Structure 1
Amino acid sequence: MDTYSFLRELADSWVLLILTCIFLGVIGWAFRPGSRDLHDDAAAVPFRHDEAAPQRQSGPEGARRDV
């Protein structure tokens, strides 16, 4: 058996099985019970130090503009 055929057979069987198990493990780890607080905290990082949005005022023609 030449090298290409061996590696092709290996990739088609065992490597596919290993990568499927890794994928399912990562999905299971991300959706495990109790991880919601960690994910919510990570999602709020970009907004952690934001201040209130600037107030808007109407211009003389009634158009809104930023202050």
Structure 2
Amino acid sequence: MKTPIALRIDPEVLAAARECARQDNRTLTNFIETALRQRIAEVMPALVAREQDCAQQSRERPRDF
């Protein structure tokens, strides 16, 4: 489940982010989340790799019904 947060953003930065989102045909939320994911992957590649491994393992694990 996603968690809502409140941010204070410079009006010019917000306007630029909205325009970028519009050009990418994304919501502002999706644009910001994608930008954060990209930056996190640059700064913390080991964390991203570990999360991807966990996600892959959960997809491969058979479910008991």
**TM-score normalised by L of structure 1:** 0.34
Which of the two has greater strand per residue? 1
The structure that has the greater radius of gyration is: 1
Which of the two has greater helix per residue? 2
